[in-house]
């Protein structure tokens, strides 16, 4: 019975081997650990998200306008605000 279950499980998967620069591999390990996922599980999630047929704009469209980027005093400034502003395509 166990061999039947294992056979069924492995028939629905495939192995993919990729080469990563060491810096990417370390970042992969850190991110997967932070998300409490295995590296394989994290990569499967990334691939599934990238192969999803729904365009990125449609998946996150409900977030448009959710960030207020009005200028505030330096005492109230969020450290990421300037990075967001610098990378904002609507400059």
Residues 39/32, Cβ–Cβ less than 8 Å: yes
pLDDT band at 13 (very low <50, low <70, confident <90, very high): confident
Rounded CA gap, 53 and 42, in Å?
A: 19
Q: Does residue 87 fall inside a structural domain? A: no
Q: Take residue 54 and report the two structure tokens written for it.
A: 């729904």
Residue 35, helix vs strand vs coil? coil
Q: What pLDDT is attached to residue 70? A: 65
Total number of domains in the chain: 1
Give CA torsion, residues 82, 84, 86, 89, to 10 deg.
-150
Q: Does residue 30 fall inside a structural domain? A: yes
Domain range enclosing 30: 20-57
Q: Does residue 12 fall inside a structural domain? A: no
Q: What is the pTM of this model?
A: 0.49
Q: Does residue 28 fall inside a structural domain? A: yes
Condensed to tens digits (0 to 9), the pLDDT of residues 29-78 reads 999 999 999 999 999 999 988 887 777 777 777 777 766 666 666 556 66
Q: What pLDDT is attached to residue 63? A: 75
């Amino acid at each position: 019975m166990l061999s039947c279950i294992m056979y069924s499980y492995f028939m629905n998967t495939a192995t993919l081997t990729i080469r990563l620069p060491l810096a990417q591999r370390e970042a992969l390990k850190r991110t997967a650990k932070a998300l409490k996922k295995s590296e394989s599980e994290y990569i499967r999630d990334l691939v599934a998200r990238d192969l999803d047929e729904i365009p990125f704009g449609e998946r996150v469209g409900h977030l448009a306008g959710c960030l207020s980027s009005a200028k505030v005093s330096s005492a109230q400034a969020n450290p990421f605000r300037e990075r967001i502003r610098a990378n904002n395509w609507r400059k």
